[in-house]
A and B are shown apart, each in its own frame.
Chain A
Amino acid sequence: MAYDVEILRLSPFALFDLKGAAEALEDWAPELSGLPGDPNALARNGEVLHCHVGPQHWLLRAPLEEENRLDAALRPNTAPPEISLVRVSDTLTFFRLTGPDAGEVLSIGCPLDLLPGVFGDTAVSFTELFGLKALVLRCAGGFEIAVEQSYGDMIADYLARATV
């Protein structure tokens, strides 16, 4: 049985790994105001996402064109020791799964409960996907996932095989 799903490998994003107390991060850089406080929640500000992915741990995602501006604004090299800001744009590859069966395909390799009542529009989480650590979030019409970049080709192959 074929699934009604479209799988798209996305262009790279600007990614920053942020660690420390939310207040300290927000005090350090105005760009970080409004970090979500709830576990595994994300806040959207246009195309910029703030993802709360762990205790005192956030991931900032923005269009790649914003990378240099954000790097200058976040000043990671001069940050105080109680916070950590690291540019990790090269580490994750994103895929977008859209269509009526996007959740069905994702559930083949992911143990997370992806039903809207549990994993809603503002949900984001690291979880397992085909045995790998992966970031999962919702997007219009489906889901976006991210895996370590070196596994990108493998996950593309797995997803293609899962849909037929």
Chain B
Amino acid sequence: MMNIPCPFCGARNESEFAYGGPVKPDRPDPNAVPDEDWTAYLTRVPNPLGPVQERWHHVRGCGTWLTIWRDTRTHDIVEGPSDAG
């Protein structure tokens, strides 16, 4: 179980949050990039062995969306929101 740092509430139990998926790169212009790059943007989900940047929603709390860096090997939150309480 993780304690996720919420900017408004402080550290809260993981069960109060909903996973919002990894942070993806900026959406490219499909008319300006090769098909391979566009397909990669649409279908490839970041899944590194190590820190990954993720979005979480404090759905059973204050409703804030926040971004953290989580290590997929240890579940350690290696970097929380900069304004986390």
Could you tell me which A residues sit within 8 Å of B by CB distance?
A: 39-40, 53-55, 57, 111-112, 125-128, 131-134
How many Å lie between the Cα of A54 and that of B15 in the bound state? 18
| CB atoms of A39 and B15 under 8 A apart | no
User: B42-54 interface mask toward A, CB cutoff 8 Å, 1 = contact, 0 = none?
Assistant: 0000000000000
| CB atoms of A126 and B61 under 8 A apart | yes
| CB atoms of A125 and B9 under 8 A apart | yes
How many Å lie between the Cα of A105 and that of B14 in the bound state? 21
Category for how many chain B residues contact A = 10 to 19
User: B1-43 interface mask toward A, CB cutoff 8 Å, 1 = contact, 0 = none?
Assistant: 0000001111011011000000000000000000000000000
How distant is B1 from chain A, measured CB to nearest CB, in Å? Answer: 9
How many Å lie between the Cα of A54 and that of B61 in the bound state? 8
Which residues of chain B come closer than 8 Å to A39, judged between CB atoms?
A: 8-10, 62, 85
